[in-house]
């Protein structure tokens, strides 16, 4: 880092603006990573719900599967159609 004591006020202001830009970019990257992780967790949960529903298709009716897994009745019906 440059010796800030030797900078003019304008140079110091420019340096501070660049540092703020870098910090903002780092924050945006961190936020993007966290949002990506959360999206991945949700996708994994949905996939798990679908797998459980597929296993239940042979033993329960659509309404019971929807209530058990948290999937919508429409999704359960789509899974049943794919099975047949």
Q: What is the pLDDT of residues 2-51, one digit of tens each?
A: 577 788 999 999 999 999 999 999 999 999 999 999 999 999 999 999 99
- pTM exceeding 0.75: no
More confident residue, 3 or 65: 65
Structure tokens given for 15 = 């340096």
The whole-number pLDDT of residue 1 equals 52
DSSP state, residue 5:
G
The ranges assigned to domains in the chain are 9-83
Q: How far, in Å, CA of 17 to CA of 10, rounded? A: 11
């Amino acid at each position: 880092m440059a010796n800030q004591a030797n900078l003019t006020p304008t140079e110091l202001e420019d340096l501070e603006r660049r540092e703020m830009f870098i910090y903002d970019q780092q924050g945006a990257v961190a936020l993007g990573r966290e949002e990506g992780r959360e999206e991945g967790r949700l996708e994994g949960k949905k996939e798990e719900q679908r797998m459980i529903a597929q296993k239940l298709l042979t033993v329960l009716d659509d309404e019971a599967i929807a209530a058990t897994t948290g999937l919508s009745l429409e999704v359960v019906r789509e899974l049943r159609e794919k099975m047949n």
